[in-house]
Amino acid sequence: MPSRVSLLAIVAVAAAVACTAKQEAPAKPDTTSATAATASADPAAVRQAIEAANTKQFAAARQSDTAGMAANYTADAILMMPNEKVARGHDEIAKAFAGMFSQATLKDPKLVTTDLIVNGDLAIETGTYDWTVQPKKGKAVHDVGKYLTVWKRQPDGSWKIIRDIGNADPPAK
């Protein structure tokens, strides 16, 4: 394992995305499109969907289930873990999780969403984590930290991660 911080990043956490678009003239709202329908998405419902996805992802993490962990990410997602190269796309993200699970397991994960901003098809989640990483060899390491995850509503109505970053609170040793 490259570093203690890398072990602590089994559950990735996210980076912000800013999207801007320039239009020549204001377009008439299309109330039949998915984008128009999500513009007024209920933040409480989005939060519930994201928390359910997080619960499912942690269940996969407890089982060292690489496919289950990667299922929460889009095909073009970006995962930025401490002390690691950026993982781009579903396959690289799955490979990153497989590498971590080959060296450690996650115990007692707790994730708390502290803030959620919803704007159309995007949601920005910030929060804290608290978990223990048990290396295959060596002593368990307890860690707490923070994360930022950007979610995107999918055509089927589900929410998946498009950007993910997080880091530990304690200073690096």
Phi and psi, residue 135, nearest 5°: -65, 155
The pLDDT tens digits for 26-58 are 333 333 334 444 445 899 999 999 999 999 998
Strand partners, 116: 125
Residue from 114, 112, 149 nearest 130 by CA: 112
Instruction: Provide the CATH number for the domain formed by 4-17+41-168 in this structure.
Output: 3.10.450.50
Residues of the chain with pLDDT under 70: 1-40
pLDDT for 76: 96
Predicted model pTM: 0.75
pLDDT for 47: 95
Alpha carbon 63 to its chain centroid, in Å, reads 18
pLDDT for 43: 92
pLDDT for 40: 59
Cα Rg, the chain, nearest whole Å? 17
pLDDT for 86: 96
Q: Who contacts 82 (Cβ-Cβ below 8 Å, separation ≥6)?
A: 3, 5, 6, 8, 9, 166, 167, 168
The answer to whether 50 touches 164, Cβ cutoff 8 Å, is no
pLDDT for 27: 36
Cα distance between residue 67 and residue 55, in whole Å: 15
Cα distance between residue 120 and residue 127, in whole Å: 21
Where along the chain do its domains lie?
Answer: 4-17+41-168
